[in-house]
Amino acid sequence: MARTKKTRTICAAPCFCRFSPTDLPSRGTLRLTFDEYEVLRLHDLEHMTQEEVARQMQVSRPTVTEILITAHEKMAAALCYGRQIVLERGECEVCEIGKQCPKASAGTCSDRHRCGAVCRNRTRTESQ
């Protein structure tokens, strides 16, 4: 019997949810879930290790590996075959404070979000 799927936690919903080639009509659509987007963002863009991504999203490291493999395959297919990418929520929970930290401007933001991520707004403010 399969285990119940654990809800993944992401820090913020993507700002853009649709990408498509502009020079030719799209040759189909690929669906990328928010958790796949988050794993790509954290691992490939923020250069976190799979262990760090797993800790932040509150899932196991093997789960991060599986998500990363499917996300990379979808992105490669979109780039190679001219497919449109549509981002969908899927089975994930968006950390409320991660959307936009309302406390950062007042200086009362805690060091960490509920998901365990350091408040991005606070670190930007402190580093300037």
pLDDT digits (tens, 9 = 90+) for 23-50: 777 688 999 999 999 999 989 988 999 9
Contact 118, 62 (CB under 8 A): no
Per DSSP, what are the bridge partners of residue 19?
Answer: 85
- Helix ranges (H only) for 17-100 are 34-40, 50-57, 61-81, 96-99
According to the model, what pLDDT value does residue 23 have?
A: 78
Per DSSP, what are the bridge partners of residue 88?
Answer: 33
89: in domain: yes
Distance CA 57, CA 42 (A): 10
pLDDT digits (tens, 9 = 90+) for 48-92: 999 988 888 878 999 999 999 999 999 999 999 989 999 998 777
Note whether 90 and 105 are same-domain residues: no
36: in domain: yes
Domain range for 113 is: 96-128
pLDDT higher for 71 or 96? 71
Distance CA 19, CA 76 (A): 13
pLDDT higher for 123 or 8? 8
Note whether 21 and 77 are same-domain residues: yes
3: in domain: no
Note whether 51 and 102 are same-domain residues: no
The reported pTM is: 0.70
Q: Looking at the 3D structure of the chain, how many domains does it have?
A: 2
